[in-house]
Amino acid sequence: MGFILLGFSDVPDLQGFLFGMFLIVYVIILMGNSFIIIITKVDFSLQTPMYFFLRNFSSSEICYVSVTVPRLLIDLCRQNRKISFLACATQMYFFLVLGATDCFILTVMAYDRYVAICNPLLYPLIMNNRLCVQLVAGCWMTGISVHVGFTYQIFSLPFCRSHQLNHFFCDVPPVLKLVCGDTFMTEMLIDVVTVVVVAILFMLILGSYVKIILTILKLPSAIGRAKAFSTCSSHLMVVALFFGSGVIAYLRPKSGHSTVMDKFLSLFYTTLTPVFNPIIYCLRNKEVMAALRKILLKWIVWDSKT
């Protein structure tokens, strides 16, 4: 026995349209983040800690989206939408792990910008290869360890109500709605984990950027200030999108929960935010665009010779 993911079965006439839309979005996410991974790997000018962290963030985003969207695409093409307890718990676990990993990497990226702007002379010494690898490993390992007991706690609860999960993947709020008995302690645990993983990390990022902005305002050159702001603006936009949607989804009052709103917010932070990330980091980043032009020029020259 397991759950039945209702997904978007309440709009049967739109199944084909939704499949096409989500497929296009998924392909854009895969291509955009893969492009970031490849170009930051092959271009020598992008072999810096900032792009090392960005490459890991893009890798995490690909995994994060792949936990939910492929299953959604399959369910839009079939009538049988059953998912076993084990598959549901696995999906929830990896979704939470990768979401937490994204949060940690974004925090590390803020620290990297803080060191680069506030301590530029010590930057190469502080952000050495060893520390960068350790920070990224810590981001991935912390996410893995945080949610093992959390997922076990949820799926050890008795599910004696309808097993129809009115959602398109096994997210925490809709699964808890199917639990019979008191879920107060579990909901408190959710709030604590969310506060620790989201709110505290967001405060660390905010604190880093307060110091960054104060340092930038002290720069004598207007060009220097503009360049410093440009290196931070893309990251700030992604942080606002990712953390903002997560906080609204998991920390808003329980009385404000509705099926339609839950699905809308889930779509926002599972698909729309990952779509924006490559666009923000590529189109607003002069170094990435310069590297792209350089690669395209090499291809054109090579093609003309052949």
The pair of structure tokens assigned to 229 is: 């702001």
Task: Share the mean pLDDT of the chain.
Answer: 84
| End-to-end Cα separation, the chain, in angstroms | 60
Least confident of 7-21, 80-94, 279-293: 279-293
Q: What is the mean pLDDT of residues 186-213?
A: 83
91 alpha carbon, distance to own chain's centre: 15
170 vs 202, which has greater pLDDT? 170
1: confidence class by pLDDT, cuts 50, 70, 90? low
| Region 241-250 average pLDDT | 74
Residues 291, 281: Cα–Cα separation, whole Å: 13
Provide the pLDDT confidence category of residue 63 given band limits of 50, 70 and 90.
Answer: very high
Amino acid 253: pLDDT:
62
The structure tokens listed for 89 are: 């718990």
Q: Is the dihedral of CA 107, 218, 237, 294 positive or negative?
A: negative
What are the φ/ψ torsions at residue 78 (nearest 5 degrees)? -140, 165
pLDDT band at 271 (very low <50, low <70, confident <90, very high): confident
What's the rounded Cα separation, in Å, for the pair 25 and 23? 5
DSSP letters for the chain: -EEEE-TTTT-GGGHHHHHHHHHHHHHHHHHHHHHHHHHHHH-GGG-SHHHHHHHHHHHHHHHHHHTTHHHHHHHTT-S--EEEHHHHHHHHHHHHHHHHHHHHHHHHHHHHHHHHHHSTTTHHHHS-HHHHHHHHHHHHHHHHHHTHHHHHHHHTS---S--EE-SSS--HHHHHTT--S--HHHHHHHHHHHIIIIIIHHHHHHHHHHHHHHHHHT-S-HHHHHHHHHHHHHHHHHHHHHHHHHHHHHHS-GGG--HHHHHHHHHIIIIIHHHHHHHHHHHT-HHHHHHHHHHHHHHHHHHHH-
The residue extents of the domains of the chain are 2-296
- CB atoms inside a 10 Å sphere around CB 97: 24
Superfamily classification of domain 2-296: Rhodopsin 7-helix transmembrane proteins (1.20.1070.10)
pLDDT at 256: 53
